């Protein structure tokens, strides 16, 4: 080999050695992998044990409870909105009778959730999930699909029970907890099928309890939670950290995030039991008109604080009348439960079976009193259900009253309100011309003389409470006269 040939060979070898492909591959440089798999340490080496325990607790809970949660899909028949022209008397004249009309009904599909409550295939969900459904299909966690039928439903609480028929007993059922023991701030776990995404798990806390006045249902005592609830979650369980069902997810506030509502499981237990046994719900009935106790009313009735439910009227022949309840009574405790307001009394009475004898603690003429009465059946008092349960009250000023006409004096006496000054406290408080003032500060007034005497005493006292007859209703109004 000549000297030039040797130099050329050396340069070729150097060039080849400098190429990237000729270097030894350095494995593991494309990404970092956790040290728990043997390459590098995890970014956080010392995770607090309580965080690990909490995480594992959620994992264990989901494994245990998820098999009891089901996906519900329904098909319902609804009447569609028809084109406006179809209703025109000129439609046939211009287009004839051969124009195909739109369908009289349309098929509507929807999704929801539910949970199995016993091995025979009974499932709890929301009434609005299965209402008007022509067909119901239930998919279990093992992906088996069953046809279901409605056992019973209750629109007033938005609860329903459906049933599937399985050849073998279902192995996993939900365990019901105690919603009366809930505290704000506790963990809350929601499982359901939002937007059709099977068995989605979300975690939050109990944001509030006893939410009512939402206009969602007739009987409202909602649990509020920030565990994400979305369309399709309806009917699914809200759980505590023990995996017990504490509520049935029902509604959301569309304008806000993190505001969802669930029906307390203790309210659902009574409803579900009745639906399973007889397919419908019967509620207790008292036979009274009730209104909230405001601060002004509390002062007028000699109460230490504005709490309880004020009885503004007692229906003749009702359980309340037979038990000795009277107008002006303030119920503070019913069947062992403290009554904070009129809405709570409504819920408590509705949850008691007809025929049960209960003890009622009340305030009458400023003194405590206990009576015993027997609860009636609301099925026999449908007319009473439409009567108003509360009225607004405000300060008093601007009433004009006259003697009752001769033909009205035999109906309990009183004085007739003939005029209410525009913008006055009486007007703003709800008193109207035509109302009959029958009592002042729980003292009956039969005529103008008694009315004037009672009003002078009320002026000295600094507050007045009117018992007003309006049509077939009796209402209380309280005003500050200082």
Q: Could you give the CA distance from residue 454 to residue 443 in angstroms, rounded to a whole number?
A: 8
- Rounded Cα gap, residues 157 and 267, in angstroms: 9
The four Cα atoms 213, 216, 221, 225 give a dihedral, to 10 degrees, of -100
Determine which one of 127, 154, 158, 435 is catalytic: 158
Of 235, 230, 233, nearest to 248 by C-alpha is 235
The angle at the Cα of 268, spanning 250 to 385, to the nearest 5 degrees, equals 90
For the question of residue 234 being annotated catalytic, the response is yes
Catalytic-residue membership of 113: no
SS3 of the chain = CCHHHHHHHHHHHHHHHHCHHHCCCCCCCCCCCCHHHCCCCCCCCCCCHHHHHHHHHHHHHHHHHHHHEEEEEEEEEECCCCCHHHHCCCHHHHHCCCCCCCCCCEEEEEEEEEEECCCCCEEEECHHHHCCEEEEEEECCCCCEEEEEEEEEECCCCEEEEEECCCCCCCCCCCECCHHHCCCCCEEEEEECHHHCCCEEEEEEEEEEEECCCCCCCCCCEEEECCCCCCCCCCCEEECCCCCEEEEEEEECCCCCCCEEEEEHHHHHHHHHHHHHHCCCCCEECCEEEEECCHHHHHHCCCCCCCCEEEEEECCCCHHHHCCCCCCCEEEEECCEECCCHHHHHHHHHCCCCCCEEEEEEEECCEEEEEEEECEEHHHCHHHHCCCCCCCCCCCCCEEEEECCHHHCCCCCCEEEEEECCCCHHHHHCCCCCCEEEEECCEECCCHHHHHHHHHHHHHHCEEEEEEEECCEEEEEEEECC
Annotated catalytic residue 120: no
Catalytic residue among 128, 207, 228, 313: 128
Q: Of 73, 228, 234, 474, which one is the catalytic site residue?
A: 234
Query: What is the pairing mode between strands 159-164 and 145-154?
Result: antiparallel
* Residues labelled as active-site residues: 128, 158, 234
């Amino acid at each position: 080999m000549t000297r030039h040939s040797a130099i050329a060979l050396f340069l070729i070898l150097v060039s080849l050695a400098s190429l990237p492909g000729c270097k030894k591959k350095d494995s593991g440089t494309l990404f970092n992998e956790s040290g728990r798999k043997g390459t590098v340490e995890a970014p956080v080496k010392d995770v607090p044990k309580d965080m690990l325990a909490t995480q594992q607790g959620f994992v264990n809970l989901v494994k245990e409870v998820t098999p009891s949660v089901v996906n519900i899909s329904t098909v319902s028949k609804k009447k569609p909105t028809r084109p406006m022209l179809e209703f025109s008397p000129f439609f046939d004249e211009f287009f004839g009778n051969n124009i195909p009309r739109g369908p009289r009904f349309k098929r509507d599909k929807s999704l929801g959730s539910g949970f199995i409550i016993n091995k025979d295939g009974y499932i709890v969900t929301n009434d609005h999930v299965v209402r008007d459904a022509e067909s119901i299909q239930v998919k279990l966690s093992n992906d088996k699909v069953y046809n279901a039928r409605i056992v019973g439903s209750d629109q007033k609480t938005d609860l329903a029970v459906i049933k599937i028929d399985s050849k073998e007993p279902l192995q996993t059922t939900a365990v019901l907890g105690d919603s009366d023991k809930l505290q704000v701030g506790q963990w809350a776990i929601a499982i359901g099928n939002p937007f059709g995404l099977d068995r989605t798990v979300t975690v939050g806390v109990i944001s509030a309890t006893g939410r009512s006045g939402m206009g969602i249902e007739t009987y409202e005592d909602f649990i509020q939670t920030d565990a994400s609830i979305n369309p399709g979650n309806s009917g699914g369980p809200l759980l505590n950290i023990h995996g017990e069902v504490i509520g049935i997810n029902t509604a959301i506030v569309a304008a806000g995030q993190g505001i969802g509502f669930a029906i307390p499981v203790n309210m659902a237990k009574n409803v579900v039991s009745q639906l399973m046994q007889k397919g419908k719900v019967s509620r207790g009935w008292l036979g009274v008109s009730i209104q909230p106790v405001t601060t002004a009313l509390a002062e007028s009735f000699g109460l230490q604080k504005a709490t309880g439910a004020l009885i503004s009227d007692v229906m003749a022949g009702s359980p309340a009348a037979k038990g000795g309840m009277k107008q002006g009574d303030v119920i503070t405790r019913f069947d062992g439960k403290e009554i904070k307001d009129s809405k709570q009394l409504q819920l408590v009475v509705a949850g008691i079976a007809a025929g049960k004898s209960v003890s009622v603690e009340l305030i009458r003429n400023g003194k405590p009193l206990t009576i015993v009465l027997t609860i009636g059946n609301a099925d026999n008092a449908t007319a009473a259900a439409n009567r108003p349960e509360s009225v607004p009250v405000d300060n008093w000023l601007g009433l004009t009253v006259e003697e009752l006409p001769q033909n009205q004096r035999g109906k309990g006496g009183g004085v007739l309100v003939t005029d209410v000054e525009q913008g006055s406290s009486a007007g703003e408080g709800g008193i109207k011309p035509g109302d009959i003032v029958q009592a002042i500060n729980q003292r009956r007034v039969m005529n103008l003389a008694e009315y004037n005497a009672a009003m002078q005493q009320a002026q000295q006292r600094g507050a007045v409470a009117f018992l007003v007859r309006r049509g077939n209703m009796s209402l209380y109004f309280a005003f500050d006269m200082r």
